Structure 1
Amino acid sequence: MKERIQKFIDYKGIAAGELASLLEVQRSNISHILNGRNKPGASLIEKMLVVFPELNARWLLTGEGNMIEKAQEQFVKNETGQKESPQKRSKSTESSNHLLNNKQIDKIVLLYNDGTFVTYNNK
C-alpha cells in the first residue's frame, strides 16, 4: 500500500509533510509508512478517504480500479430545506443578490482543504 500512497502524493503534487498536515498526523507517521517501516492503520486510511473524497478506497486498499473516482454531483440545501445542485443555487443566489442591492456576482471561488480551487465566472 505504501507504493499507492506515494503514487497518490505524487498525483496531488504535495510533499509527505503536507499530507501529514492535511491528515492531522505526525510527519513521522507518513515517513515511516513511505519507508516501509510501518503499515498504515485503519485510522490513517479513514482520514485519507475523508480528506480526499475523490480517492478510490478500493484502489487504495487493493490496487484494483482507478486511483481517482468520478466526482459525484453534490447537493446543498436551499432556504426551504430542499436539495439543489450548486449551479442552481448560485443562479438563485445571484438573482436574490441582484434584487437586494442592485449588484451582480462577478466571480465565486471555492477553496478546498486539499489546496485545490474552482473559479466560477458570471459571463
Structure 2
Amino acid sequence: MSKLNIQDRIKNIIDALGFTNRSFSLKLGVDPTVIHNIVAGRKSYPSFAILEKIILSFDNIDAKWLLTGKGSMYGASRSLVLQEPMPEYSLARSKKEVALENEILHLKGQIEAYKNVIASLSGSK
C-alpha cells in the first residue's frame, strides 16, 4: 500500500476520532470550508496553522506521522490519553445526542472565533 498523503492522513484522523469534517473544523476553531477543501484535495497542503491546531488539539495524534506519514497515527502519549475518559463515538447515538454534540462543537468554535476577534481588537495578537 502506498504512503498516504497529508490530506488522507487528516481524513484518517477525522474518521478515527468519529468526527465529521464540520465537527472537526469546529473543534479546531476554523471555518468548515478549510477542512473540506483540504480533505477534498482542493488545496494542495494544509497550512502550518491548521497542522499546529491538530497537533495541539489531539495529544494522542503523533505529530511525526501527521507531517511525514512515518510511524503510526497514535503517538506514545496515546496510553496517557486513554486513561482519561474519552467521549464515546458510538453508532448507536440518538439523533438528539448527535445534534447536541454538534451544537456544542459549533458553540465552542464560535467562542474560539470570538476570542480571536477580541484578541485582535485589543491588539494582544
The TM tier, using the shorter chain, reads 0.5 to 0.7
Q: Which runs of 5+ in 2 are unaligned?
A: 1-5, 89-125
Which residue identity does 2:52 align to in structure 1?
E
Q: Does residue 1:59 correspond to 2:65, yes or no?
A: yes
- Return structure 1 stretches of 4+ with deviation > 4 angstroms: none
Residue of 11, 17, 24 corresponding to 1:12: 17
Q: Which structure ranks higher in relative contact order (CA pairs < 8 Å, sequence separation ≥ 6)?
A: 2
Q: After TM superposition, list the pairs within 5 Å mapping 1:100-119 onto structure 2.
A: 116=87
Larger radius of gyration: 1
Q: Which has the higher strand share?
A: 1
State the identity as a percent: 29
Shift of the 63–27 alpha-carbon distance from structure 1 to 2, 3 Å rule, reads same
Q: After TM superposition, list the pairs within 5 Å mapping 1:17-56 onto structure 2.
A: 17-38=22-43, 39-56=45-62
How many corresponding residue pairs? 80
Residue of 57, 72, 76 corresponding to 1:70: 76
Structure-2-length-normalised TM-score: 0.58
Q: What do the CA deviations read for 1:15-73 (whole angstroms, capped 9, x no partner)?
A: 00011000000000001001111120000000000000111011001100010013265
Q: Which runs of 5+ in 1 are unaligned?
A: 75-109, 118-123
RMSD (Å), alpha carbons: 2.2
Structure-1-length-normalised TM-score: 0.58
